[in-house]
Structure 1
Amino acid sequence: MTETATVVLHGFTGSAAAMAPLASRLPDPVVVLDLPGHGPGLISNDPADYTMAAAVSGVLASASDLERFALVGYSMGGRVALHIALACPDRVVALALIGARAGIDDPAERAERIAADEALASRIESEGVEWFADYWADRPLFATQRHRLSVVQRAGLRIQRLACDPRGLALSLRGMGAGAVEPIGCHLRELSMSCTLIVGEDDTKFAAIARDMAAAIPQADVCVIPDAGHATHLEAPDATAAAVIQCVSS
């Protein structure tokens, strides 16, 4: 019997390589993909290539030889995974989301996020990726990484971010940021597959979001990873992999 593949999707500023700490701990076969604006591929200047629809199409094209697969998505990759699961419920056998949300429902909050992402995108374009790498690492969302990741690990993250194309990051923010994408919380009840929402114990904002999402999804549970923040796959890769494996095999 052919084993079900697991498709892994990274977050904003990440890449397929950035998900190695998790992907290397999952049983084969594992497919790790780059999302629009990320990774070593060519960067398009067409904004249409950076929409959620384009991201979903790209993942499905890359997984075209997989009849059915499990999906794992971190942050922005989790939003993409949710859209794929809703679009192709017969192909997605399980869904594991790490620090993810279904969008921003409140119109005022959403408009504020769109404006903030546009301002950040413009600054990335004007000041460059080196400025951005330092800015992103200093965000409160990643504060736990300063004492949970080693100096070598943090340096590796910075190198990964420096490899990003500033145009790709800016276009990705404008087209696939949390505010830019239509919220899909009202559709979560349509998800028919097993779903695990993975959050770090110290990521209180996303822990609350995960609980709200789990209440709306028919077959969902929340897995809180101790001693971890937003990026549990980096701070606690063993525990995160165990949660993913349990979700995929259930």
Structure 2
Amino acid sequence: MELFAMMFEEINHHTYAYRMHRQRTGLPFLLMLHGFMGDQRAFDHLIDGLGEFCNPVTVDLLGHGQSAKSPDPSDYREEQQVADLRAFIHRMHRNTDVDGELFLHGYSMGGRLALKTAMADPALVGGLILESANCGIRDKRERSRRRQTDEQRAREITADFDRFLRHWQQLPLFASPAANHDKKLQKKYRNNQREQSPEAIAASLRGFGTGSMRPCCDELPSLKRPVLLMAGTHDEKYRRINRRLVQRLPDVRFSSPKAGHRIHLDNPGEFLQEVKSFIS
């Protein structure tokens, strides 16, 4: 596995860490956004496979990995992060010699950010890949309850991060149906989460948790870009969510690989096949 050197970009007073793994002429770019408590290392095991048909780019989102770790929740609000990501994409295009089409992938929290970015600036992306993502919570009462849950989790994170992680990692949502899943990969994933900054993670949850996100479900019909939706066979909550998204998006394809919430981890082979087919 070949991993290129980490690079850093200052955007709107925030430092972002990223890797541009390939710059091959004739191939599109794929910018990948990780989920909550993760970082770009979540996709390391996919880079070689992705490099066969695209130029993968991975980035640590604000508060994660080696990017800036602000303790201020307002830095993580969706308007700020979307503005940062749009600026990052524009700068990436200017700084590369290869003028390839850009596809945007996002997993879970990263999927919500990818969707918001594509809605704000559709011309930026040639296509959108949403893995285990949603368009926000439309019901105001339900959204308020989720904000309360997010706040409680943020307090637990700063009070005892190790205890929170043990509970988080045991949630049924993250159970893998694959009997032969890669135990070393799963362990690496857990270690990556343990290395995150509790204060920054809590601020991220307060600023851009699902309860704080402005829902954009009713705006989806205006997104005139091809979209690939993915939800694992054992993730019934997000299968239901994605069935609703299918009805709203004008150019959409839905796939349900044998996996839980983390398809890229549970079933990397089928994940790569679906992404390759979509981009091709």
Using the size of structure 2 for normalisation, the TM-score is: 0.83
**Alpha-carbon separation, structure 1, partners of 2:149 and 2:254:** 29
For 1:225, what is the secondary structure of its paired residue? Answer: coil
Number of the residue aligned with 1:36: 62
Where relative contact order (Cα < 8 A, 6+ residues apart) is larger, the structure is: 1
Aligned residue number for residue 97 of structure 1: 130
Deviation of 1:148 (Å): 5.2
Task: Tell me how large the CA RMSD over aligned residues is.
Answer: 1.7
Matched, 1:53 2:79: yes
Partner secondary structure for residue 71 of structure 1 = strand
The alignment status of 1:245 with 2:271, answered yes or no, reads no
2:112 is aligned with what amino acid?
R
Residues 149-186 of structure 1, C-alpha deviations (whole Å, 9 max, x = no match): 34322321221011100011101110111111011001
Distance 1:12 1:185 in 2: 21
For 1:137 and 1:200, locate their aligned partners in 2 and report how far apart those are by CA, in whole Å. 17
Contact kept, 8 Å, 2:177 with 2:234, in 1: the verdict is no
The answer to whether the aligner puts 1:229 opposite 2:257 as a matched pair is no
Alignment partner, residue 152 of structure 2 = 119
- State whether structure 2 residue 43 is matched by structure 1 residue 19: yes
The answer as to whether partners of 2:62 and 2:68 remain within 8 angstroms in 1 is no
Question: Of 136, 148, 152, which aligns to 2:184?
Answer: 152
* SS state at 2:231 partner: strand
Q: Percent identity?
A: 33
The question of whether the paired residues in 1 share the 8 Å contact of 2:178 and 2:266 is answered with no
Q: CA deviation at 1:51?
A: 1.1
Mark the runs of 5 or more structure 1 residues left unpaired by the alignment. none
CA contact (8 A) 1:72 1:244 kept: no
Give, in whole Å, the separation in 2 of the partners of 1:193 and 1:61.
20
CA distance in 1, matches of 2:148, 2:76: 17
Q: Deviations over 1:192-233 (max 9, x none)?
A: 11101011111111011111101100000111102x111110
Which residue is 1:70 aligned to?
103
Question: Contact 1:21–1:233 at 8 Å: present in 2 too?
Answer: no
The one-letter amino acid of 1:11's match is G
Range with greater deviation from structure 2 (217-226 or 55-64): 55-64
Aligned residue identity for 2:80: A
1:205 is the counterpart of 2:237: yes
Task: Return the letter of the residue paired with 2:73.
Answer: P
Moved more, 22-31 or 89-98: 22-31
CA 1:17–1:212: 2 relative to 1, 3 Å = same
Distance 1:24 1:167, change over 3 A: farther
Query: Secondary structure at the residue paired with 2:250?
Result: coil
Instruction: Indicate the SS of the match to 1:200.
Output: coil
Contact 1:105 1:183 (C-alpha < 8 Å) held by counterparts: yes
Q: 1:146 to 1:238 in 2, by over 3 A?
A: closer
Contact 1:23 1:32 in 2 (8 A): no
Contact 2:32 2:58 in 1 (8 A): yes
- State the distance in 1 between where 2:68 and 2:178 align: 32
Q: Is the 8 A contact 2:30 2:105 kept in 1?
A: yes
SS at match of 1:132: helix
Are the structure 2 counterparts of residues 207 and 22 from structure 1 closer, same or farther at C-alpha, using a change threshold of 3 Å? farther
The alignment partner of 1:8 has SS state of strand
User: Aligned with 1:25: secondary structure?
Assistant: helix
> What SS does the aligned partner of 1:62 have?
helix
Distance in 1, Cα, partners of 2:151 & 2:180: 31
Distance 1:243 1:139, change over 3 A: same
